[in-house]
């Protein structure tokens, strides 16, 4: 199990992550709204602006204040280790 730092001392299990997307798009904002209605939203921004949204296999939507480029680098590192 590898944990991904999503900011402010919060982590997410990388095995459960399905997608990491920018929070700017309208469809992503609808996903966040739906998750809040279904009580599956996890706000890990500590009051900061949401920049990245992480979607898990359990349909939880995790909001992070870190830029998406932080998570892209993590993905590239995992690919290098697996090859």
Per residue in 12-64, pLDDT tens?
999 999 999 999 999 999 999 999 999 999 999 999 999 999 999 999 999 99
pLDDT value of residue 1: 87
Residue in the structure block whose two tokens are 């900061």:
48
User: Is the CB of residue 57 less than 8 Å from the CB of residue 18?
Assistant: yes
Give the total number of structural domains in the chain: 1
Number of H helices, E strands in the chain: 2, 6
Domain extent at residue 57: 3-82
Q: Is the pTM of this model over 0.75?
A: yes
């Amino acid at each position: 199990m590898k944990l991904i730092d999503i900011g402010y001392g919060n982590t997410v299990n990388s095995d459960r992550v399905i997608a990491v997307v920018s929070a700017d798009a309208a469809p992503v904002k609808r996903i966040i709204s739906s998750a809040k209605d279904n009580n599956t939203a996890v706000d890990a921004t500590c009051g900061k602006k949401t920049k990245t949204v992480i979607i898990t296999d359990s349909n939880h939507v995790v909001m992070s204040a870190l830029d998406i480029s932080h998570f892209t680098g993590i993905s590239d590192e995992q690919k290098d280790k697996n090859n």
